[in-house]
């Protein structure tokens, strides 16, 4: 108990020291933030009223963003199913799942925007690099979720089939999948929502989507048009989140 208490105290001390160090070594001046008030007000004033003449661009960009998120999530699911199985200690030996988990950690460590930039350079502008970037980046997390779902199911049904001579795929189909299906559905829906949010910024690097129009209008100082696109983004995210909440409640 004493060791645990000391450990908690030491952890709290480290966190506090990190916060103090961050404030002390970062050029954070509240006076600069206060003086920026008029400029922020001027920027927001230029966005009012929003320009409704960009509805065609909003519809096109929103549809492209949605397609990127859907196809990117589909690609991630296709890649994550075998990788999730290979990353599960329930299904394979340590010699297999350890390298696969390391690979997934490496994928998660690469920022999405960097993957998108590399894909734009490789395959050109448009939605394709965005789809590839989303699929690649989401696989690192989704495969990890799938592996954890496999490893988290009760072992009794698996052991029963194993004692009867059932192979790994039979155990997966009849003992593991019925128990993990709600978790897989929940995690996949959550990842789709996250992919949609991330797809909104891919247009900044030319990977398609509605983010391209936000970047274009802001750079050309057309803030009223940027405001209209921003409102559309907020509405789309809220709608998708509401749909995802409904789906998660149905599957869990």
Residue 211, domain CATH:
1.10.3720.10
Using alpha carbons, select from 64, 143, 134, 73 the residue that is nearest to residue 103: 143
Q: Please, are residues 90 and 159 in contact by the beta-carbon 8 Å criterion?
A: no
Ranges 29-43, 122-136, 218-232: which has the least confidence: 29-43
CA-to-CA distance for 34 and 164, rounded, in angstroms?
A: 72
The vertex-219 CA angle with 218 and 222, nearest 5°, equals: 50
Asked if residue 85 belongs to a domain, the reply is: yes
Asked if residue 23 belongs to a domain, the reply is: no
CA-to-CA distance for 204 and 219, rounded, in angstroms?
A: 11
Asked if residue 7 belongs to a domain, the reply is: no
> Does residue 223 surpass a pLDDT of 50?
yes
For 88-145, the pLDDT digits (tens) are: 887 788 888 899 999 999 999 888 888 888 888 888 777 888 889 899 999 999 999 9
Question: What average pLDDT does range 224-240 have in this prediction?
Answer: 83
**At 47, is the secondary structure helix, strand, or coil?**
coil
Q: How many domains does the chain have?
A: 1
The pTM score is 0.75
Using alpha carbons, select from 70, 161, 147, 151 the residue that is nearest to residue 108: 147
CA-to-CA distance for 209 and 212, rounded, in angstroms?
A: 6
CA-to-CA distance for 173 and 119, rounded, in angstroms?
A: 36
CA-to-CA distance for 109 and 79, rounded, in angstroms?
A: 17
Identify the residue with better confidence: 200 or 112.
112
Q: Please, are residues 83 and 104 in contact by the beta-carbon 8 Å criterion?
A: yes
CA-to-CA distance for 53 and 228, rounded, in angstroms?
A: 9
Asked if residue 104 belongs to a domain, the reply is: yes
Asked if residue 10 belongs to a domain, the reply is: no
> Does residue 20 surpass a pLDDT of 70?
yes
Return the beta strands (E) in the chain as ranges.
none
3 pLDDT band, cuts 50/70/90, is very low
Query: HSE on the CB side for 106, CA within 13 Å?
Result: 6
Give Cβ neighbours of residue 70 (< 8 Å, ≥ 6 apart). 192
Identify the residue with better confidence: 51 or 96.
96
**At 8, is the secondary structure helix, strand, or coil?**
helix
Tally of residues, the chain: 252
> CA-CA distances (angstroms) from residue 231 to 40, 54, 143?
18, 12, 33
For 150-192, the pLDDT digits (tens) are: 887 777 666 676 676 666 677 777 677 777 777 888 888 888 8
> Does residue 80 surpass a pLDDT of 90?
yes
CA-to-CA distance for 131 and 75, rounded, in angstroms?
A: 8
Asked if residue 183 belongs to a domain, the reply is: yes
What average pLDDT is seen over the chain?
80
Asked if residue 184 belongs to a domain, the reply is: yes
Q: In which element (H, E) is residue 241 found?
A: helix 223-251
Q: Please, are residues 64 and 196 in contact by the beta-carbon 8 Å criterion?
A: no
Which domain, by its residues, includes 134? Answer: 52-249
| pLDDT at residue 30 in the model | 66
Percentage of residues of the chain with pLDDT beyond 70: 87
Q: Please, are residues 234 and 182 in contact by the beta-carbon 8 Å criterion?
A: no
Asked if residue 24 belongs to a domain, the reply is: no
């Amino acid at each position: 108990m004493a060791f645990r208490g000391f450990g908690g105290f030491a952890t709290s001390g480290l966190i506090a020291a990190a916060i103090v160090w961050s404030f002390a070594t970062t050029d954070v001046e509240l006076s600069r933030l206060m003086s920026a008030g008029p400029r922020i007000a001027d920027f927001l004033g230029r966005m009012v009223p929003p320009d409704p003449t960009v509805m065609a661009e909003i519809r096109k960009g929103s549809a492209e963003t949605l397609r990127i998120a859907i196809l990117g999530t589909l690609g991630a699911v296709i890649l994550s199913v075998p990788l999730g199985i290979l990353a599960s200690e329930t299904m394979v030996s340590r010699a297999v799942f350890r390298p696969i988990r390391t690979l997934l950690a490496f994928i998660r460590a690469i920022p999405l925007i960097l993957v998108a930039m590399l894909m734009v350079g490789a395959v050109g502008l448009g939605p394709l690099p965005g789809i590839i970037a989303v699929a690649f980046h989401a696989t690192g997390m989704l495969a990890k979720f799938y592996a954890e779902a496999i490893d988290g199911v009760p072992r009794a049904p698996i052991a029963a089939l194993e004692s009867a001579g059932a192979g790994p795929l039979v155990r997966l189909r009849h003992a593991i999948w019925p128990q993990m299906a709600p978790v897989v559905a929940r995690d996949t829906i959550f990842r789709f929502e996250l992919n949609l949010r991330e797809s909104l910024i891919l247009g900044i690097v030319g990977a398609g989507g509605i983010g391209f129009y936000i970047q274009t209008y802001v750079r050309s100082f057309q803030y009223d048009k940027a405001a209209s696109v921003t409102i559309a983004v907020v509405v789309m995210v809220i709608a998708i989140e509401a749909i995802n909440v409904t789906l998660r409640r149905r599957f869990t």
